[in-house]
Amino acid sequence: MIRLPKNEGLNIIPFIDIMLVLLAIVLSLSTFIAHGEIKINLPQSENSNSINENKDKVSILIDKENKFYIEGKTTSLEEIKAKFDTIDSKTLVELKSDKEAKFESFVKIIDILKNKNHENFQILTEQKR
């Protein structure tokens, strides 16, 4: 058996420090990943419509930078057009647009829906308080 001199040994304090820093990094990153929601401020309306929990629906979102999202994934207008070629005209389309987004972006989505003869959609707003 090898014996170390009394004053020499394995110093684990730097190892513990490194592990605590790594733990802090992992915990802070996991909170960003868990909240992977796209933040938008919906316009307010006195007659806000309720969200339908229909399983056959497509959710389109426009954020304040006028970026388009389908089901939470960034997309382009061409991909939205292609998506409407593949879905049934009876499928519900939920439209959410940030109140700071350009109206032109919203009109482009409505135009795509009209060109595809898709009239089953709802515009989501926030209940005015």
Q: What are the extents of the domains in the chain?
A: 44-127
Q: What is the pLDDT of residue 19?
A: 92
Q: What is the DSSP string of 45-84?
A: ETTPPPPP--SSEEEEEE-TT--EEETTEEE-HHHHHHHH
pLDDT tens-digit profile of 62-98? Answer: 888 889 998 888 889 899 888 888 888 788 888 888 8
pLDDT for 110 beyond 70: yes
| Average pLDDT, integer, range 25-37 | 66
pLDDT at position 72: 82
Class for the domain spanning 44-127: alpha beta
In sequence order, which residues have a C-beta less than 8 Å from that of residue 109 and are 6 or more positions away?
Answer: 60, 62, 68, 80, 95
pTM summary value: 0.58
Q: Letter for the amino acid at 53?
A: E
Q: What is the pLDDT of residues 114-129, one digit of tens each?
A: 888 888 888 877 766 6
pLDDT attached to residue 129: 61
Task: State the pLDDT confidence band at 33, using cuts at 50, 70 and 90.
Answer: low
- Res 119: pLDDT: 80
pLDDT at 21: 92
Q: CB–CB of 66/98 below 8 Å? A: no
Give me the pLDDT at residue 124, please.
Answer: 78
